[in-house]
Amino acid sequence: MKKHNRQAIAASWMLVALLVAACMPARLAEVQAPSQPTDVAQLTKLNVCYTAHNPTQSVSWYARKQGIFAKYGLDVNLVLLTGGGPPLVAALLAGEVDFCHTGGGPIINAAVAGADVVLVAGLFNMPLYSLMVTPEIKQPEDLKGKIVASGKLGSSSDLAIRQALVYLHLTPDQDVTILQAGEQGDRLTLMDSGQVVGTLVSIPETIKAQARGYKPLLDLSKVDLPQVTSTIATTRANLKAHPATALAFMQAIVTAIAQMKQDEAGSKAAIAEFLEMDPTTDAALIAESYKVLIQQDLAEIPYPTELGIQTNLDALAQENPTVSDFKPADVIDISILRQLDESGFIRKLYQ
């Protein structure tokens, strides 16, 4: 497989983001969400994007549904942005969205390329995928000479599948070919057709994959592979221009996290609505999502971990030595989160 040039990819980030921003509509379409229980005329309006219908990005949906944003004076418009890193980075730079739920990879890549984007929270700081394989793959060595599927180059799933292969003592792009193939559903379709023998799948899709006859070869969440999988990003310019609003937004996020961990019924209802699942027929999928992702893996105090960010930086530095000059602190701003932590605000949410 032809070796990808990560240096060229990083260098093109700013140009792509600017071009995408120039083509974006004046207003982003609002995703249908539950109505606010408070008069929105008195609230500060925010656009908040998410990049996938996945339980790891359900915190803002829950906050919207439960009126938590309104409690902190915010009227949040939830916007789905697909297409990978460039569209969401462009939306942030253009001010079309104020904050975004996204994987850490696109933001770190863009920051290294010079974009004014920054991580303010790390909701999940480990790969949440299982490497699902077809029945003929009995052990890691059976993957040699085969093709596996990941998301787009530089995405969380692409980084994670490379981590998984190295952990299994296999060399990515040499022992095993990696095909960039989009979202989980698309990748599972490739497995169904026999074009690939494995891919990364996260909860609750793992249950669906097992029902199709696939089995987990490695659960990445159970091994020591740090990665900022689900984050909240914004721009430094936004933080500087609107500090009170940014504080209110982060107050709402940590409040929603605490409440989700203590509100099983409400959280399951929000997850079902967010993922467009049937509460009855999909009850097992919803329950697994809540038990593992929300109760177990969602960070109570969502600091983005330096080890997780360094994983992304190390991957970029393999082909662009100048990336070694960047440190995790260069791509994060946890000043608001630290304030909420050290003041005791977060601790009181669990009392």
Q: Give the pLDDT confidence score for residue 41 in this predicted structure.
A: 63
C-alpha 99/C-alpha 46 separation (Å) is 8
Task: For residue 331, give every residue at least 6 positions away whose Cβ sits within 8 Å of its Cβ, in sequence order, or none.
Answer: 107, 108, 111, 112, 118, 119, 309
What does each of the 351 residues of the chain score in pLDDT, given as a tens digit? 444 444 444 445 444 444 444 444 433 434 333 444 445 568 999 999 998 888 999 999 999 999 999 999 999 999 999 877 788 999 999 999 999 999 888 898 899 889 999 999 999 998 889 999 999 999 999 999 999 999 877 677 888 899 899 999 999 999 999 998 878 888 999 999 999 999 999 888 888 899 999 999 999 888 888 888 899 999 999 999 999 999 999 999 999 999 999 999 999 999 999 999 999 999 999 999 999 999 999 999 999 999 989 988 887 777 777 788 889 999 999 999 999 999 999 999 999
- The pLDDT score that the predictor gives to residue 182 is 78
What separation in angstroms does the CA of 100 have from each of 88, 141, 149, 180?
8, 39, 26, 23
Instruction: State the pLDDT at residue 93.
Output: 96
Task: Determine how many CB atoms are found less than 10 A away from the CB of residue 210.
Answer: 14
Q: What is the pLDDT of residue 5?
A: 47
The contacts found for 161-167 with CB under 8 angstroms, 24 or more apart, are: 161/129, 161/131, 161/199, 161/200, 162/315, 163/127, 163/220, 163/225, 163/227, 163/311, 164/127, 164/129, 164/131, 164/200, 164/218, 164/220, 164/225, 167/218, 167/220, 167/223, 167/225
DSSP 26: S
pLDDT value for 200: 92
Domains and CATH numbers, the chain: 6-126+228-348 (3.40.190.10), 129-222 (3.40.190.10)
Measured distance CA(244)–CA(339) in Å, rounded? 13
State the pLDDT at residue 198: 96
What pLDDT sits at residue 266? 97
